[in-house]
Structure 1
Amino acid sequence: MAESEEELKNLLMKVKEESAKYGLKRNIKKTKIMATGPITSWQIEGDEMEAVRDFTFLGSMITADGDSSHEIKRRLLLGRRAMTCLDSILRSRDVTLPTKVCIVKAMAFPVVMYGSESWTIKKADRRRIYAFELWCWRRLLRIPWTARRSNASILKEISPECSLEGQIVKLRLQYFGHLMRREDSLEKTLMLGKMEGTRRRGRQRTRWLDSVFWVTSMSLTKLREVVEDRGAWRALVHGVTKSRTRLTTIFTIFKEDMSHILSIYLSANAFQHSVVPVQLVTHKQGFRVTLIEQEHEWGGTSACMEEHGLGIWDAHQNAYAVHRNTAWRDRSLTSWMCSCMPTPLVPPASAMCTEDWCGSP
């Protein structure tokens, strides 16, 4: 790596001199450069080197703009190739379903997750990863794409302990904790460093550190404190990983006249849960929303949740939110909405608990 053309030229000359001591000669056809600036070609000692926008290094694709989407697409294609190589095993009737699931997790998923610690995953990338995972399970169960089988029924039959995205999140958090505990390193400097200059107009690109903040819901100051306690950090990583399930929550929204019925299937990046009886919550614009009460298995989050099991989908944050004893009074709840509704939900009088709006009917 070099900051200028002159520095790069000196670096290549040193490589050439040291290689000559061992009888090695530089292959100019295999030597390429990648620059962040508008450089199309570059010469050294009369030899012209090609400037590329991306290259593969140690099995991972590195691009000039730092976008991980190209590498994610490439890894998903390699994962599909690995799945097709397992067809003879997956079609065998002598292998049980749990064994086939373990084979897919051991042979196909690691191909996709290689180098995923450094990925900056966007919303479109998450959809691709989710689609790949469902494609793997459908191929394992030999379900054609024409079959009218919901993703929820497939996940229920497979019963995966953790989604592919959850495993990627686990690797990223483990790598983050490893970097934060190091005193001085280039990776930590790049992760925590700030660029000089002014920001561009419009929304800024998602940073790698933003994904850590998003999955943990913690600030950098709080994360610095937690990573120093290895036991607490492992517990946090385990809890976040378990929360990245792909069980499906069904919300049925309808008007008072029952003339319009719409079923929305939302991928619940939620706490693990089991479905229990439903409860009605009235919307102030004349809608009624059927909420599926859920009980999650990540203990200690909310005593109210453990007792009453009332939760609501946060469409903006793409997460299954659990309201606590004072949640309805929290100003942040003004942004909690059903995905089809222009105004927030309000708690009905029948859903109030006598003790501080706890949500008990």
Structure 2
Amino acid sequence: MLKLVYKNTRAQVRINGELSEVFDIETGVMQGGIPSPVLFNIVFDFIIKKVLEQCSVEGVTFAYGSTDFYHGARDKFENFDILALMYADYLVALTQTLDDLKLFIKIFENVTQAYGLTMSVKKTCVMSMQQFKEGINGKIVKNQEVDIPDIEIIIRNQKIETVDSFSYLGCWVCRDQRPDKEIESRLTKSATAFNMLRNVIWYRKTISIEAKLRIFRACVLPVLLYGSEVWSLTAVQENRISTFYMKCLRTILGLNLGDRVANITIMQLSGQPSIENLMRRNRLRWFGHANRMENENGPHLGKKIMFSYFPGKKRPTNTGIRKRWENKIMDDIEKFDIKIWRKDTKNKDRWREIINRHVTMNPVPSNIKSIIQEFKDISKKRRAEELAISHGKPQRKATEVLVKDCHNRYDCPNCKKKFKPQGITGHIRVCATHWCKKNNIKIWKK
């Protein structure tokens, strides 16, 4: 049947209402056809096997031990190599040296051309991972990177671009292995998704808050937390995610920062879990899924990669790098009070029940509109009191009165300590209360 579908296939193209001449289709698969992805996978798998037969490159060597994340000196491990990662028509090649990479790309180009496929040079890029020099004592020398020769790979008279980061399956991968660009991308895309519904959904008083929250969980949260299963964030990065999350919930409830409603109260009113617990749940969900991966002959490759490490290599003690993903997983297990994760992850239903305990959605209070109105009335009364205290004069910001130095820092008028613009405002409200009243500076009141 497949042969009949693809044999003697012809097509026409409609341009400005007129059909072109009939032409034969000799390569490719049917657009939108159900068997098309399977057929392409078969061809691509065949091509990769041909490349591996002609190529002597082994890829990057990892070790899979017998003690999960803990690798002692007596750990028994087996080595395995990762050369190519494939998904649909995407291919990522991992090599130890530049010569191995050039050889792999050259053979891949020859094989694909021989079997009717063409590698897109414009969509191809090369990236080398950031490495720092190590001293005699095994510690890294900060700000001194290992010299990497210029990467020049020419395919069909076109040079493959060398980059510091690239997007793979919707996630950013950077040479310094930090998630800053990925977090920036997630926040931008989720803010766009949220703002597209601002006038249509969030500001509509005819739509219930329960419905708005369901739409938020379906349309915005998946964009924000896409790829969060592999995140290993710092406290600052987690705070950025949390700030956006709370801003969205405030908008949905009809509140703002000027109403001075605490985050814990916002989550209680909306019935939503904290974003930190949602990220923990996502990490542990993927961790349990990968830990259940087993083949007839032993652990699946995905499980091996999750528990893998570089044999004979010790991590320098002065890297100053955030916690690794495995450290985050252990912290998540401790936060969720999971005692025997090795046993619990093997039972899919049991594991799902455990990790979802801390992310349950509570119902919205039936009188939520009256509660929100109370907060609004309290806020309105407080503003009126502040205006009366200032005798009708508009209160000023601390940064409008203080003078910053050449390093963009301000001196506290009381203790003379230096602060950034983000920190001086909160500090002087506590440290220099008398000065704030004298200069008509805003002082927060609960």
Name the counterpart of 2:220: 108
Mapped partners of 1:152, 1:225: distance in 2: 34
- CA shift at 1:4, angstroms? 2.0
Which residue among 129, 149, 154 is the counterpart of 1:36? 129
- Say whether 1:193 aligns with 2:308: yes
Mapped partners of 1:55, 1:63: distance in 2: 7
Which residue among 74, 78, 81 is the counterpart of 2:192? 81
Name the counterpart of 1:311: none
Name the counterpart of 2:289: 178
Q: Is the 8 A contact 1:32 1:49 kept in 2?
A: yes
- CA shift at 1:241, angstroms? 3.9
- CA shift at 1:167, angstroms? 2.5
Q: Is the 8 A contact 1:41 1:48 kept in 2?
A: no
Mapped partners of 1:190, 1:199: distance in 2: 18
Give the structure-2-normalised TM-score.
0.49
- RMSD of aligned alpha carbons: 2.8
- CA shift at 1:177, angstroms? 0.9
Which residue among 221, 229, 233 is the counterpart of 2:351? 233
Name the counterpart of 1:126: 238
Which residue among 146, 170, 177 is the counterpart of 1:59? 170
Mapped partners of 1:77, 1:234: distance in 2: 30
- CA shift at 1:81, angstroms? 0.8
- CA shift at 1:204, angstroms? 5.4
- CA shift at 1:110, angstroms? 0.5
Mapped partners of 1:74, 1:204: distance in 2: 21
C-alpha distance after superposition, 1:45-86 (max 9, x if no partner):
564322211100111111123222321221022111111001
Name the counterpart of 1:10: 103
Question: Superposed, which structure 2 residues align to 1:141-290 within 5 Å?
Answer: 141-160=253-272, 162-183=273-294, 184-195=299-310, 196-202=312-318, 205-217=322-334, 222-241=340-359
Secondary structure of the residue aligned to 1:140 is helix
C-alpha distance after superposition, 1:229-274 (max 9, x if no partner):
334323321234459xxxxxxxxxxxxxxxxxxxxxxxxxxxxxxx
Mapped partners of 1:197, 1:93: distance in 2: 60
C-alpha distance after superposition, 1:112-153 (max 9, x if no partner):
111111111222222112111111012223434433333233
Bigger Rg over Cα? 2
Give the residue type in structure 2 aligned to 1:189: K
Give the residue type in structure 1 aligned to 2:153: Q
Q: Is the 8 A contact 1:213 1:220 kept in 2?
A: no
- CA shift at 1:156, angstroms? 3.0
Q: Is the 8 A contact 1:40 1:50 kept in 2?
A: no
Unaligned runs of 5+ in 1: 244-361
Secondary structure of the residue aligned to 1:62 is strand
C-alpha distance after superposition, 1:317-356 (max 9, x if no partner):
xxxxxxxxxxxxxxxxxxxxxxxxxxxxxxxxxxxxxxxx
Mapped partners of 2:359, 2:262: distance in 1: 24
- CA shift at 1:21, angstroms? 3.9
Distance 1:186 1:220, change over 3 A: farther
Give the residue type in structure 2 aligned to 1:126: E
Higher RCO, 1 vs 2 (CA within 8 Å, ≥6 residues apart): 2
Mapped partners of 1:174, 1:155: distance in 2: 23
Secondary structure of the residue aligned to 1:56 is strand
Aligned residues: 242
Identical aligned residues as a percent: 25
Mapped partners of 1:167, 1:51: distance in 2: 36
Distance 1:136 1:193, change over 3 A: same
Unaligned runs of 5+ in 2: 1-92, 131-147, 362-446
Mapped partners of 1:39, 1:132: distance in 2: 41
Give the structure-1-normalised TM-score.
0.60
Q: Is the 8 A contact 1:34 1:64 kept in 2?
A: yes
Mapped partners of 2:96, 2:167: distance in 1: 21
Secondary structure of the residue aligned to 1:61 is strand
- CA shift at 1:220, angstroms? 11
- Say whether 1:97 aligns with 2:215: no
Give the residue type in structure 2 aligned to 1:78: K
Mapped partners of 2:187, 2:284: distance in 1: 21
